[in-house]
Amino acid sequence: MTDFVSSFWGYYVGIITLASIIGCAILLQSQSKRRVPGAKVETTGHVWDEDLQELNNPLPNWWRWLFYITIVFALGYLVFYPGLGFWEGTLGWSSAKRYEEEQRQAEQKFGPLYAKYAQMSIEEVAADPAAIAMGQNMYLNYCAQCHASDARGSKGFPNLTDNDWLYGGDPQTIVATITNGRNGVMPPLGAVLGSDGTRDVAHYVRSLSGLPHDSIRASRGKPLFAQNCAVCHGADGTGNKMLGAPNLTDNVWLYGSSEATIVETITKGRNNVMPAWKDFLGESKIHVLAAYIWSLSNTPPQRNPLAEPDKSEPGQAEPVKVGQSS
């Protein structure tokens, strides 16, 4: 209950919980009256198939006692575990403590292995099958939701298996991206360029990568591009990795290359956020994850075939195939 600033909510939860359990007991007792032998049994008024009636008989004893047992169990649970507002339970259990204990056990078990990989370069880690298996598992847990399980991305989420990188694909840059996250902002220019100007720039942008375009609009859009877009994308449209501004001269498009999509991007802008993982994963895990991502678009150096991996190490796995760029 520490998330609530008022002590009222702790009492509120406790009272509601106990009132609910007591209410269930009262309701059960009210439905547990014995039927007098020979007395006429009332019906609930429900009739099916002309003569099939629903009688208002008491609950069977075995069913009634099962309900009482659940009430006793609920009260016992609330004694040992938290559930009554500020009451922490006699066992002192909490989900936060449980999580911290599991994290501590995992660190004791796998910490030495991550520490070993932390002393190796990204390229060396990428050549280790066990490390790649670990990195792949982390990727599927933390990254696949946005970049897809095959790492080929989707609309608005970059493909990690090619050699097109917004901020750079060298090992150090990948580590920096995972560690600190990224926030790519394309400002809206619709109000500045106007409807016709926006379409002119869109056709010029399409011409940069050889897409079908209106040459007249493209010629009008070129000076507008130089005035409003070149500061980020460069005078030649090849982008700027320092800013994360994409290259507009290739065939890689994060949102699509149609005229309508480009017009939408110029008009409304884009705001992409890659979350930072430094506090959640830590340096050593990020090192292994970065090696896996780097390996998706690069060929790791061959390992010495005489250097057999230590089968006693935790996390040892069979080699896995990772996607390579064509």
Q: Is the pLDDT of residue 231 over 90?
A: yes
Tens of pLDDT, residues 86-116: 888 899 888 889 988 998 898 888 889 899 9
Distance separating alpha carbons of residues 248 and 238, to the nearest angstrom = 6
Tell me the C-alpha distance between 42 and 35, whole Å: 10
Q: For residue range 104-159, what is the model confidence (pLDDT) as tens digits?
A: 898 888 889 899 999 999 999 999 999 999 999 999 999 999 999 999 999 999 99
Supply the pLDDT for residue 62: 87
Cα distance between residue 249 and residue 251, in whole Å: 7
Mean pLDDT of the chain, nearest integer: 87
d(CA 151, CA 3): 37
Of 319, 313, 261, the closest CA to residue 132 belongs to 319
Please report the pLDDT score of residue 30 as a whole number: 80
Task: Report the C-alpha gap between 35 and 38 in whole angstroms.
Answer: 9
Is the distance from CB of 322 to CB of 133 less than 8 angstroms?
A: no
Q: If pLDDT is split at 50, 70 and 90, which confidence band does 20 have?
A: very high
Asked if the model's pLDDT at residue 304 lies above 50, the reply is no
CA angle at residue 96 from 93 to 141, to 5 degrees? 130
Per the structure block, which two tokens stand in for 184?
């790519």
pLDDT digits (tens, 9 = 90+) for 72-90: 999 999 999 998 888 888 9
- Domains in the chain, CATH or no CATH each: 1-33+54-93 (no CATH), 102-181+275-295 (1.10.760.10), 184-274 (1.10.760.10)
- pLDDT of 315 > 50? The answer is no
* 169 vs 57: which has the higher pLDDT: 169
Per-residue model confidence (pLDDT) at position 127: 95
Query: Which of the four pLDDT bands, split at 50, 70 and 90, describes residue 300?
Result: confident
Q: Is pLDDT of 305 > 50?
A: no
Confidence band for 314, pLDDT divided at 50, 70 and 90: very low
| Mean pLDDT of the 200-208 span | 97
Instruction: Give residue 35's pLDDT.
Output: 62
Q: What is the pLDDT of residue 59?
A: 77
Residue from 109, 267, 288, 115 nearest 200 by CA: 267
Q: What is the pLDDT of residue 40?
A: 73
- The contacts of residue 45 (CB under 8 Å, 6+ apart) are 54
